[in-house]
Copies of this chain bind each other. A is one copy, B any other.
Amino acid sequence: MSEREELGRASFEWAKAHMPVFELAERYLKKRETGRNLFQGIHLAACLHVSKETAVLIDSLHSFGAEVQLVAANPLSSQDDIASFLKSRGVSVFARSGESPEEYTASIEAAAKCSPDLIVDDGGELHVAYSATDSTGCKGGTDETTSGTVRLKALADQGKLRYPVVPVNEAKTKHLFDNKYGSGQSTIDGLLRATGLLLSGKSVVVAGYGWVGRGVALRTRGMGARVIVTEVDGLKALEAHLDGFEVLRMIEAAEQGDIFLTCTGQIDILRAEHFQKMKDGAMLGNVGHFDREIDVPALYRLGRNTEEVRKNITRIELERGKSLYVLCQGRVVNLVAGEGHPPEIMQLSFANQLLSLCYLIDHENELRKEKRKLLQFPEEIDSLVTGFAMEGFHLKIDKLTERQRDYASSYYSP
């Protein structure tokens, strides 16, 4: 085994040792009649961040018999040692750290053309690519993110989705944990590694107060920052306000922020009009799936000079002697500069992925007839994962007594 493979193996082992919830899901599936042959003969294409936790999912699918082809969900987030390790296990991996946008797109398109039976995606890119092919054999797919769910909905609405997709992000055991606690911590991780700077006392502007944004707001506050939130949704704005955050429009927040973090799933959150208001030295980072939340091209156009001053930090000098810093070229800072979500979080998301793929196989016939292609997330999977989580996290909770169960369905005066 090469040194790189060995490093990858060690990372994989470390992650696996901290993913007991995923292991419980695996064990549950192994007890079925099909056992280890669950995905025998299945060609599975996966577009995911090539991280140590992903390796645990992919290795499991592989060991359940699937023939797996893995491509990167982001050109900058792949870890080469993990890729090497997975290759050594017999997985086809087309991903490398720092690949060009062209390579990245080409790998996804190639995967789409290889007639996969199942598609596992993170962001919807592979589903979109498949929809542009003539292939028809795909039995179903899943997707991991809010961004992907939005795009799949658009795809389905326009009649372009040709197979059933389980939106894993809709699982409560996914978005309540991965999006909030996962993004919260991994954003701190990414920020600390990228910048090495102090967070206490900094004014951090968090764009978006969805699950990701509130995780990021919570943890940056936890590190001592003063947090300002921007929103387009009144309800979330009011929650942010009552959580003690300042709520401003971006055009006002732009003048106050030391660090900006976009968490919206939208585009053009930080754009020319905002760059012009920002303070010298402000840092711009993105936590959303795509590199479109910060309008980096517009920033480059405004700048007179551009320099990589530290790994993952580009300084853009603007007209009046003012510089701004872009982190990770506007790509997801927690995965490019940091290690991504920790294994204890990914075990929940990937247990959902594994069980969702199994669900697609189990219900293949009914689902073929189903007109609604973007499925509701199956409640039974959420229940299963919750149960595994209780065991994996060693949590002990109360059970309803018989009297309490009765009470819950009665209307008599208590």
Residues of A at under 8 Å CB distance from B? Answer: 10-11, 13-15, 17-18, 52, 105, 124-125, 128, 131, 150-152, 154-155, 157-158, 160, 172-173, 176-177, 181, 184-185, 188-189, 192-193, 196-201, 218-219, 221-226, 230-235, 237-239, 241-250, 252, 266-268, 281, 290-292, 309-310, 313, 338-339, 342-345, 382, 386-387, 389-390, 393, 395-401, 403-404, 407-414
Chain B hits for A150, CB < 8 A: 408
**Provided the pairs A197-B344, A238-B177, A407-B266 are in contact, do residues A219 and B223 lie with their beta carbons within 8 angstroms?**
yes
Pick from B18, B128, B177, B200: contact of A244, CB under 8 Å: B200
- The answer to whether A237 and B197 have CB atoms under 8 Å apart is no
- Name, among A152, A230, A409, the residue most crowded by chain B CB atoms within 10 Å (CB to CB): A409
Point out the residue from B52, B188, B226, B414 that lies within 8 Å of A292, measured CB to CB: B414
CA distance A249 to B102 in the complex (A): 53
Oligomer: number of copies: 4
Residue in B13, B221, B397 whose beta carbon sits within 8 Å of that of A231 in the complex: B397
Most interface-central of A199, A244, A248, A290 (chain B CB within 10 A): A244
Contact B267 A397 (CB under 8 A): no
Report the bound CA distance from A330 to B353 in whole Å: 38
> Do the beta carbons of B196 and A411 come within 8 Å of each other?
no
In the complex the two chains form, what is the Cα distance from A155 to B410 in whole Å? 8
CB distance from A391 to the nearest CB of B (A): 10
